[in-house]
Amino acid sequence: MTVYANPGTDGAVVEFKSRYEHYIGGEWVAPVKGQYFENVTPITGQVFCEVARGTAEDIEAALDAAWAAAPAWGKTSVAERAGILNKIADRIEANLEKIAVAESWDNGKAVRETLNADIPLAADHFRYFASAIRAQEGSLSQIDEDTVAYHYHEPLGVVGQIIPWNFPILMAVWKLAPALATGNAVVLKPAEQTPASIMVLIDLIGDLLPPGVINIVNGFGLEAGKPLASNKRIRKIAFTGETTTGRLIMQYASENIIPITLELGGKSPNIFFEDVAAQDDAFWDKAQEGFTMFALNQGEVCTCPSRALIQESIADRFLDAVVARTQKIVQGNPLDTDTMMGAQASNDQLEKILSYLDIGKQEGAEVLTGGGRAELDGDLAGGFYVQPTIFKGSNNMRIFQEEIFGPVVSATTFNDYDDALTIANDTLYGLGAGVWSRNGNTAYRAGREIQAGRVWVNNYHAYPAHAAFGGYKSSGIGRENHLMMLDHYQQTKNLLVSY
Ligand code: NAD
């Protein structure tokens, strides 16, 4: 089917196939068991394509292809691999609008975000790792008069990757770019809620790589994800998803003693110290904008600033201002470039968020704005839309402790610095956090003392390829992005040679 940006105009267009197979060994391959599942767009709630429903047999076929491709790919020069990664980035940039519309239609997110952030970032991640791998060097050190130690970097071989549905293309690229740059062959399983946009991407870039270097097997967690993550033929598993699933991935990996990267859930605090309100100026404005980041990507962000901590002395004034700002968020057709907030990615996710809106009300939290389903007209009436919601309550409530993964922020107040830090760190999670203060010392100290892998100070939600990203506590193990990813996807060979 054909999907347009800015419906009713001649905006960017993407053509979806009515059926997507697996991508194995450079070809579209039907599932061994011949089964398919329906893929729905959250924008209207309609089925728009069917997708191969992978099983252990398809994973084995993909691993065969990856094992066949890995030795030659691993021996290509870094210059050659970097050249290919740069060509992939060129291809993505040349097809920016098409991929952005595909991502919006499949996931429900606003096309203005996919056009301006998700897809340009995806291209940049390929460029970053193309450059990073060229700068990597081995080392030589003298052990004693007769002996030297050489350190070489080698690809791991064949790696497994499993991703969620909230940023389908960007999450795939965060994993693919470093794995390919370091010479590994990959079997990747997309989320069953959002398989189509990744297949559009593969259709565009697949021919740039030798067959078998990238393999995509679609399907569900237990049917396709588990046979991949627990397979003896992978040398690493990289996973992004829920903390509960992450625990299972650790168990599977422990059987095979393979390295894991786990990027899991979050319940990120965003702290507003009283000095943000010292003047009605650009900083005061910026802090409010930082608060409303809870609605970015419909709140379906692992680092969603889902807990707002506001100093008591400014709380009423600040909350009035952010409620007014939240009520100006334009909800509508995600394909319309004026739309700021689109649809939740699936009906299950919609139901989960609505249940938490009920839980918050039952717990006695005050609804400052929102609090229910957003009813849109026409074709959008069947879509999965939620009002951006601000609760006011206390940090022991479930809406402060459990990941909702929707456009819902739970706000509370604090008295002083120590109080703020106690509340901020009173969570199972430790992925993202925000600190807002005009006082450099306060901001820096809080940034250091919050137990989270990424703390944004006086900004929120930037994800550059060269900034390490990952979680403390139950938010995960390992990091993504940054040069350190090269080590995550390589073995270090030490050769100790006597002459
Ligand atoms: P999920 O754990 O339900 O699913 C993620 C992936 O794992 C899917 O592809 C799914 O099919 C697969 N899967 C499910 N069960 C499996 C099993 N037993 N074995 C192997 N694979 C299995 O997560 P989700 O609902 O798709 O994603 C939302 C979660 O992802 C949130 O918790 C969010 O915070 C987290 N997330 C984290 C980051 C990060 O970088 N830390 C980024 C994005 C999303």
- Pocket test residue of 39, 125, 162, 475 for ligand 1, highest count of atoms within 8 A of CB: 162
241 Cα to the center of ligand 1, angstroms: 2
ipTM: 0.96
Q: Which residues are catalytic?
A: 263
What's this model's pTM, rounded to 2 decimal places? Answer: 0.97
Q: Give 163 Cα–ligand 1 centroid separation in angstroms.
A: 6
219 lines ligand 1 (CB under 6 A): no
58 Cβ closer than 6 Å to some ligand 1 atom: no
* Interval between CA 243 and ligand 1 midpoint (Å): 8
pLDDT tens series, the chain, 499 aa: 888 777 666 666 899 999 999 999 999 999 999 999 999 999 999 999 999 999 999 999 999 999 999 999 999 999 999 999 999 999 999 999 999 999 999 999 999 999 999 999 999 999 999 999 999 988 999 999 999 999 999 999 999 999 999 999 999 999 999 999 999 999 999 999 999 999 999 999 999 999 999 999 999 999 999 999 999 999 999 999 999 999 999 999 999 999 999 999 999 999 999 999 988 799 999 999 999 999 999 999 999 999 999 999 999 999 999 999 999 999 999 999 999 999 999 999 999 999 999 999 999 999 999 999 999 999 999 999 999 999 999 999 999 999 999 999 999 999 999 999 999 999 999 999 999 999 999 999 999 999 999 999 999 999 999 999 999 999 999 999 999 999 999 999 999 999 8
Distance 240 CA to ligand 1 centre (A): 5
The reply to whether ligand 1 has any atom less than 6 angstroms from the CB of 263 is yes
Substitution candidate for ligand 1 out of 242, 249, 301 with most atoms within 8 A of CB: 242
Q: How far apart are CA 63 and CA 73, in angstroms?
A: 15
The CB density around residue 499, as the number of other CB atoms within 10 Å, is 6
Q: Are 41 and 346 in contact (CB under 8 A)?
A: no
Task: Quote the ligand 1 centre to 149 CA distance (angstroms).
Answer: 41
218 lines ligand 1 (CB under 6 A): no
Atom of ligand 1 nearest to the CA of 480: 40
